[in-house]
Amino acid sequence: MDTIKIVQGDITQATVDAIVNAANSRMLGGGGVDGAIHRAAGPKLLAACEKVKTKNRVRCPVGEARLTEAGNLKAKYVIHAVGPRYGIDKNPENLLTSAYQNSLDLAVSHGCESIAFPAISCGVYGYPPQEAAKISVSVCKRPEYESLMKYFYLFSDEMTAIWMAKLEHP
Ligand code: ADP
C-alpha cells in the first residue's frame, strides 16, 4: 500500500495523529505555517511550548524536533521541527534530512499511525522546493517508516505539482 499522500490545503485541518510544524528554534510561534498552527491550536499549544527545556533560549536546535500536545487541533501531537535557513545554515541538505527524520522518529516512538508535514523551510527560510521535495520524499520512503501514513500538505498549485512529481519520479 502507498503510505505517502499529497494533499493541497491547510495543514491545521489535517486529521492525523501528529501535525508537524515548521517552527523556529525558540518555539514561541511565528509567521507562515507556524502562526496558522498556533492560531488554530489556541493558547494551550504556546503553554506547552513554553515548558520545553531551553538552552540559551533555544528550545529546538536546527535539524531537530520536539513533541508537544496539540491544543485544539484534531491531532494528538504537534511535532515542532526546525529546518535550515537556506544560504545561512551550513549543510542544509543534512539539516533538512534530519528535521524530517527526527519528526518521523518522534511519531513512531509515540505510537502514531499518521503524520502530516508542511514544506519545511520552503517559505521564509528560502529552501528551493524541488530539492526540499526530493529530500522529504526520500526520507519518508525509508522502510523504517513504512508503518506510518505520511501526508504532505502543500499550499499552492505549484508546490503540490512539485511534490507530486517527486513522488512519482524520484
Ligand atoms: P519556514 O520558516 O520553515 O520556511 P514557512 O511557514 O514560512 O516556514 O513556510 C513553509 C511552507 O508552508 C510554505 O510553502 C508555506 O506556503 C506553507 N504554509 C503556510 N501556511 C500553511 C498552512 N496553513 N498549511 C500548509 N502549508 C502552509
- State residue 98 phi and psi, 5-degree precision: -70, -30
CA–CA dist 25, 46 (Å, integer) = 14
CA of 145 to the centre of ligand 1 (A): 23
CA–CA dist 27, 49 (Å, integer) = 6
Over residues 7-32, mean pLDDT: 97
Assigned superfamily of 4-168: Leucine Aminopeptidase, subunit E, domain 1 (3.40.220.10)
From the CB of 12, is ligand 1 less than 6 Å away?
Answer: yes
The residues that are catalytic are 34
- 42, three cell numbers: 489556541
Distances from the Cα of 135 to the Cα of 60, 94, 105, 120, 165, angstroms: 21, 9, 16, 11, 13
Confidence of residue 30 (pLDDT cuts 50, 70, 90): very high
Asked whether residue 25 carries a pLDDT value surpassing 80, the answer given is: yes
Distances from the Cα of 110 to the Cα of 69, 71, 138, 142, 146, angstroms: 12, 17, 22, 18, 15
Asked whether residue 169 carries a pLDDT value surpassing 90, the answer given is: no
What are the tens digits of pLDDT across the range 119-133? Answer: 999 999 999 999 999
Over residues 37-48, mean pLDDT: 98
* b/e burial code for range 61-82 (CB count within 10 A of at least 16 → b): ebbbbbbbbbbebebbbbbbbb
Confidence of residue 1 (pLDDT cuts 50, 70, 90): low
From the CB of 84, is ligand 1 less than 6 Å away?
Answer: no
From the CB of 124, is ligand 1 less than 6 Å away?
Answer: yes
CA–CA dist 103, 63 (Å, integer) = 10
151: Cα within 13 Å, side-chain hemisphere: 22
Over residues 85-92, mean pLDDT: 98
The dihedral sign for the CA sequence 140, 143, 148, 149: positive
The 8-class DSSP code of residue 144 comes to G
The structure's pTM equals 0.98
